Amino acid sequence: MIEKVLAIETSCDDTSVAIVDRSGWVHSVVAASQDLEHELYGGIVPEIAARNHSIALIPLIEEAFKKAGMSWKDVQGIAVTNRPGLIGALIVGLVTAKSLAQAKKLPFLGVNHLEGHLLAPFLRDAQYAPPEDFDYPYVGLAISGGHTSLYQIRGLGDYRVLGATKDDAAGECFDKFAKMAGLGFPGGVRIDQMAKTGNPEAFEFPRSMIHDETFDMSFSGLKSAGQRMIEQLGPELVQEQLPDLCASFQEAIVDVLLAKLDRAAKVFKAKRVILTGGVSANSRLRARAQEWADKKGLSLVIPPIRYCTDNAAMIGYAGILRLNAGEVSSLDLGPSPQALATDFR
Ligand code: KG4
Ligand code: ZN
């Protein structure tokens, strides 16, 4: 039985390392954000992300051990994100994990990043634990800069995709609108802040596919509507009405996400639902989701923000469960920009 793993996450722009045990306890999780470097370009530059991972990763591994008060003799395996993600960024984490696995004679496993997000509610530390009765099955909405998908999670490795965005991810939509409105990158958190004093009904934005019978979503129409609105108003009015603009734009995204979550909870008679991924840090979404869950008598789990955004702890937990189920990757494992067909049903 593997008690603890070292976990590495480099699929996008955050370098993260964690030490996690098989109960989900996070002994340490450390990260290096690259936001400042990418802000210069208004979005993530894949080559810069990969280069920064290669600079940050080894020192972070040392830091993760130090923070946990542990050393290599305390871990029995290595988990690493190998899909989906930016290929150059994934390579850095994967090559490092393979080299360390070989040098330290440890088994290693390539993990699907989204599985990490979906299992994040099970993580625990001194400040967070899932509700005592939290267990499979549950419905999960994974919302980030790269993904917006709804799943039914029935057990380890048993994830059914119910629907997904047909075009832009919700986080991407937040980030693009923020950029157009002059709020910088990454924009989600800035829109969230700005929206707090705004009126969500001040501007009318489209809610594409909200009444559609599927669990799919679309945010590109909203993004274009946002762009048109900003062009029509001009820079001065945009500045003046920024809180109202942000609140109205944010409300359109939250409305769509909650409508789809509500439909999924109903159709699959869910008792438990989770929100995960960077966008679940959004304060308006969290408040309205809680209100909705209370009204419907559902148990809603939103992991703390440190486990919602990209982090290695969630990768470690998914990895240790699978390693203990007998899975192991071979040294010729490659990275993949997409999930594997076998990852989901
Ligand atoms: O999961 P994540 O850290 O990385 C990806 O896998 O993409 O998600 C990042 C996304 C970004 O688009 C960011 O703007 C968004 O999450 N985000 C937010 C908030 N905090 C982060 N979006 C809306 N409101 C927030 N408070
Ligand atoms: Zn993610």
What local confidence, expressed as pLDDT, does residue 21 receive? Answer: 98
What local confidence, expressed as pLDDT, does residue 45 receive? Answer: 86
How does pLDDT run across 59-75, given as a tens digit for each residue?
Answer: 999 999 999 999 999 99
| Residue nearest atom 7 in ligand 1 by C-alpha distance | 145
**DSSP assignment string, 276-294:** ESGGGG-HHHHHHHHHHHH
How does pLDDT run across 278-289, given as a tens digit for each residue?
Answer: 999 999 999 999
Q: Which domain holds residue 62?
A: 4-128+307-324
Whether the CB of 188 sits within 6 Å of ligand 1: yes
Between the CA of 235 and the centroid of ligand 2 the distance, in Å, is: 33
Between the CA of 188 and the centroid of ligand 1 the distance, in Å, is: 6
Decide if 339 is inside a domain. no
Strands (E), 10-114: 14-21, 26-33, 77-83, 108-112
Percent of the chain with pLDDT over 70: 100
Decide if 335 is inside a domain. no
Name the least confident of 42-56, 168-182, 211-225, 232-246.
42-56
In the predicted structure, residue 44 carries a pLDDT above the cut 90: no
* Dihedral angle sign, alpha carbons of residues 217, 228, 44, 144: negative
Same-domain status, 116 and 149: no
Number of residues assigned to the chain: 345
In the predicted structure, residue 43 carries a pLDDT above the cut 90: no
Decide if 344 is inside a domain. no
In whole angstroms, what is the distance from residue 89 CA to residue 82 CA? 10
Query: Domain containing 33 — which CATH number?
Result: 3.30.420.40
Whether the CB of 174 sits within 6 Å of ligand 1: yes
Ligand 1 atom at minimal distance to the Cα of residue 283: 26
Between the CA of 281 and the centroid of ligand 2 the distance, in Å, is: 12
The residues near 178 (Cβ < 8 Å, ≥ 6 apart) are 184, 185, 186, 187, 188, 190, 191
- For residue 24, the tally of other CB atoms under 10 A from its CB is 21
Same-domain status, 212 and 147: yes
How does pLDDT run across 335-345, given as a tens digit for each residue?
Answer: 999 999 999 98
Whether the CB of 146 sits within 6 Å of ligand 1: yes
Nearest ligand by distance to the CA of 315 = 2
Whether the CB of 277 sits within 6 Å of ligand 1: yes
Asked if omega into 107 is within 30° of 0 (cis), the reply is no
Strand 148-155 and strand 138-143: the pairing is antiparallel
Name the least confident of 41-45, 69-73, 83-87, 329-333.
41-45
Number of structural domains found in the chain: 2
